[in-house]
Amino acid sequence: MNLNPEKKTSNLILLIASFVIVSLILWNTNSFFKKFKEEERLKMEIWATAQSEFQQSSEDADLGNLHLKVFQNNTSTPMILVNKDGSIKTNNMPIENTMDTAYIEDQIKKFKSENTPISITQQGEHLATLYYGNSEVLNKLKYYPIALLLIIFLFGAVIFFFFKTNKASEQNKLWAGMAKETAHQIGTPLSSLLGWNELLKTENINPDITREIQKDISRLETITERFSKIGSLPKLDTQDIVEQTKEAYEYLKSRSSDLIQFSFESQVREAPVLLNSALYHWTIENLVKNGIDAMKGKGKIGIMILVDGKNVHIQVSDTGHGIPKSDFQSIFNPGVTTKKRGWGLGLSLVKRIVEEYHKGKIKVLSSNKEGTIMQITLRATEAREA
């Protein structure tokens, strides 16, 4: 669903432009590296030529001074000169290692891998071989493209997560808007039903009928309140989690099939927690209905409240087909469902209600072919034993 095509297009253009700019910088750096390497090669060839001519014309003082200047100006490129008699001369290398034969051999291998050796000749006669490595500046430039590639990768990752977060935010706004609009639309016929029910009470009919209608109207009011709270921060009050859980339990039990066996147990008589009752009832309802669906309408549903220090655990169990261990985390993601019908929003809403609004935790405590136990953990102010 494309909620804002113009914004999406501009973001895409910005992303492409950014990659083009970084790619141009990378290409330019690579070109500069190659050019700098060619210049170092030329400098070494001049040095080798100067070395050959110096050996040939060393008696000419002026020419010798000229060549000495060429030798002295090379202060950055490490080199090893191997004469035809096997003697070795090093330049721009650590003095303490120049007498280490193994070190010199390793450096020659390294220099050969970096640059092609230069043969120094005089009138067709081989005099020496010059091995040289990359200067410090060239070595830094060599790793600069890698740094740029890393920057591109990090940049792409940031942009990806930005777009993903932005898309999720837009979807959240859409769902919140739909929920609020649903609550608004339910409000009108609900008000009418309230009026009709009051009118029925004045008629000579069984009062149990209007009483049950009133219960369902109250239920619709609760549903409307739930939807109206989506997208906004709900108000939390100190309430007894045992009482609230039992209320949700009794409501679901009275409106479920006789094929479902319900059980409720609590280790404590009461446990006050900060709670939004409408959203909490919705959470219990979702977990129970998921359990009933997993049992295909026949089995046992159990709710147990346990206390561990200042933590209150609400466990909802069923005797359904179970959840694969690999799906323990993913079932709380939006759109993930094991049902043939459904949008996979129930458990994602439950997770948001528990963790974002109530600062608690929800997880699959255990699951196998014999059933599943879902556990909600909330912080209690105090608890009294039953």
Instruction: Kindly report the CATH number assigned to the domain that includes residue 288.
Output: 3.30.565.10
Angle at Cα 255 formed by Cα 251 and Cα 257, nearest 5°? 135
What pLDDT, on the 0 to 100 scale, is given for residue 60? 47
Helices 207-229, 277-294: inter-axial angle, 10-degree rounding: 100
Indicate whether 264 belongs to any domain. Answer: yes
Could you tell me if 172 and 96 lie in one domain? Answer: no
Could you tell me if 58 and 147 lie in one domain? Answer: no
Indicate whether 170 belongs to any domain. Answer: yes
Tokens of 87: 């003697």
Q: How far apart are CA 313 and CA 267, in angstroms?
A: 10
Q: Find out whether 230 and 179 touch, Cβ atoms under 8 Å.
A: yes
**Long-range contacts at 98-105 (CB < 8 A, ≥ 24 apart):** 104/80
- Listing DSSP states for 175-187 in one string gives HHHHHHHHHHHHH
Indicate whether 30 belongs to any domain. Answer: yes
Q: Domain containing 22: what range?
A: 5-134
Q: Find out whether 81 and 130 touch, Cβ atoms under 8 Å.
A: yes
Indicate whether 225 belongs to any domain. Answer: no
Could you tell me if 122 and 12 lie in one domain? Answer: yes
What pLDDT, on the 0 to 100 scale, is given for residue 64? 52
Could you tell me if 310 and 249 lie in one domain? Answer: yes
What pLDDT, on the 0 to 100 scale, is given for residue 215? 78
Contacts of 262 (CB under 8 A, 6+ apart): 249, 252, 253, 256, 300, 301, 302, 303
Could you tell me if 274 and 213 lie in one domain? Answer: no
| Structure confidence by residue, pLDDT tens digits, 206-237 | 888 888 888 778 777 777 776 666 666 778 89
Domain boundary among 86, 101, 134: 134
What pLDDT, on the 0 to 100 scale, is given for residue 288? 92
Q: Which helix (DSSP H) or strand (DSSP E) does residue 106 occupy?
A: helix 101-114
What pLDDT, on the 0 to 100 scale, is given for residue 299? 93
Domain boundary among 134, 162, 195: 134
Q: How far apart are CA 365 and CA 369, in angstroms?
A: 14
Measured in whole angstroms, the distance separating CA 340 from the mean position of its chain's CA atoms is 29
Q: How far apart are CA 261 and CA 300, in angstroms?
A: 5
Could you tell me if 188 and 205 lie in one domain? Answer: yes
Could you tell me if 252 and 193 lie in one domain? Answer: no
Could you tell me if 12 and 92 lie in one domain? Answer: yes
Q: How far apart are CA 249 and CA 232, in angstroms?
A: 26
Could you tell me if 160 and 204 lie in one domain? Answer: yes
Domain tally, the chain = 3
**Half-sphere exposure of residue 192, counting CA atoms within 13 Å on the CB side?**
4
Could you tell me if 42 and 163 lie in one domain? Answer: no
Q: Find out whether 317 and 301 touch, Cβ atoms under 8 Å.
A: yes
Beta bridge partners of 377: 313, 361
Could you tell me if 257 and 344 lie in one domain? Answer: yes
**Half-sphere exposure of residue 347, counting CA atoms within 13 Å on the CB side?**
25
Cα four-point dihedral sign 367, 373, 377, 380: negative
Q: How far apart are CA 270 and CA 243, in angstroms?
A: 7
What pLDDT, on the 0 to 100 scale, is given for residue 318? 94
Q: How far apart are CA 56 and CA 51, in angstroms?
A: 9
| Structure confidence by residue, pLDDT tens digits, 36-51 | 888 888 888 888 877 7
For the chain, state the CA radius of gyration.
40
The model's pTM: 0.50
- Listing DSSP states for 295-361 in one string gives TTT-EEEEEEEEEETTEEEEEEEE-SS---GGGTTGGGSTT--SSSS--S-HHHHHHIIIIIIS--E
Indicate whether 246 belongs to any domain. Answer: yes
Domain boundary among 134, 150, 185: 134
Indicate whether 343 belongs to any domain. Answer: yes
Tokens of 342: 């459904």
Indicate whether 226 belongs to any domain. Answer: no
Per-residue pLDDT of the chain (386 residues; tens, 9 = 90+): 444 555 567 767 877 877 787 778 778 777 877 888 888 888 888 888 777 776 666 444 455 566 566 666 677 788 888 888 888 888 877 777 767 888 888 888 888 888 888 888 877 778 888 888 887 777 777 777 677 778 777 877 887 777 777 666 666 665 666 666 666 667 667 777 777 778 788 777 888 888 888 877 877 777 777 666 666 677 889 999 999 999 999 988 888 888 999 999 999 988 999 998 888 998 998 899 889 988 988 999 999 999 988 899 999 999 998 888 888 888 887 655 555 544 456 788 888 889 988 999 999 999 998 899 999 999 987 655 55
Could you tell me if 152 and 179 lie in one domain? Answer: yes
Indicate whether 359 belongs to any domain. Answer: yes
